[in-house]
């Protein structure tokens, strides 16, 4: 067997090469998962932003994994976007009847991603950043009757970040060097 021609340093190098190649392949293939954002309040009034109670899943591995989120919804009479935690808190602290004057309506809220004119079928795509983000939505032209449902779905595509590519290539390189100098 080929591994018998290596000392322990060469065998460790072979492990590095295999792990580096596996990481490269896994990152190129990527991984996709989907889900629904639950408990999204129905926008019953125009010119007012409503927020999901639960945040989107966080990308805690952002230095190692690149994540791209696509959000779609099932109604063209609503707009959807993403806000950070600070913007959500700021808008929730404003009484409803003042929402238009302080930038918490669909046209002036500080969206991290999305747009108040986006169509439901196209949705929007966002390169995920570290932090806590919430879905925000509102009615486009007129309020939606109470009890109506808005189904919000997301798709997250995971792949390589620059750091993970560098680590994978570095592992292959280090492994190859160890294998070269670990021959018997």
Tens of pLDDT, residue by residue over 115-135, are 877 778 788 999 988 889 988
Q: What does the alpha-carbon distance between residue 49 and residue 138 come to, in Å, rounded to a whole number?
A: 5
What kind and span of H or E run contains 68?
Answer: strand 65-73
Q: φ, ψ for residue 101 (rounded to 5)?
A: -80, -15
Q: What does the alpha-carbon distance between residue 85 and residue 124 come to, in Å, rounded to a whole number?
A: 19
pTM strictly above 0.75: no
Token pair, residue 40, equals: 């999204």
Q: Specify burial of residue 106 (Cβ count, 10 A radius: 0-12, 13-18, 19+).
A: buried
With CA atoms as reference, report the closest residue to 59 among 131, 154, 166. 131
Mean pLDDT (the chain, rounded): 82
Token pair, residue 51, equals: 């927020």
Choose from 4-13, 148-157, 160-169 the range with maximum mean pLDDT. Answer: 160-169
CB-CB contact of 182 with 2 (8 Å)? no
Q: How many residues does the chain have?
A: 184
| Confidence class for position 95, pLDDT limits 50, 70, 90 | low
CATH class held by domain 30-160: mainly beta
Residue 48 has pLDDT above 60, yes or no: yes
| Confidence class for position 180, pLDDT limits 50, 70, 90 | confident
Q: Which residue, chain included where needed, has tokens 């930038």?
A: 103
């Amino acid at each position: 067997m080929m591994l018998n021609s290596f000392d322990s340093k060469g065998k460790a190098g072979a492990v590095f090469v295999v792990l580096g190649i596996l990481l490269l392949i896994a990152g190129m293939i990527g991984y996709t998962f989907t889900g629904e954002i639950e408990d999204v309040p129905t926008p019953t009034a125009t010119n007012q932003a409503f927020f999901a109670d639960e945040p989107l899943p966080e990308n805690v591995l952002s230095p190692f994994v690149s994540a791209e989120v696509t959000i779609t919804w099932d109604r063209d009479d609503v707009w959807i976007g993403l806000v950070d935690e600070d913007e959500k808190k700021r808008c929730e602290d404003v009484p409803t009847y003042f929402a238009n004057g302080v930038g918490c309506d669909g046209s002036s809220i500080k969206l991290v991603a999305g747009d108040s004119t986006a169509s439901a079928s196209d949705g929007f795509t966002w390169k995920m950043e570290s932090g806590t983000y919430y879905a925000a939505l509102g009615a486009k032209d007129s309020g939606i009757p109470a009890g109506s449902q808005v189904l919000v779905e997301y798709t997250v595509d995971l792949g390589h970040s620059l750091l993970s590519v560098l680590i994978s290539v570095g592992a292959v390189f280090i492994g190859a060097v160890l294998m070269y100098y670990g021959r018997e």
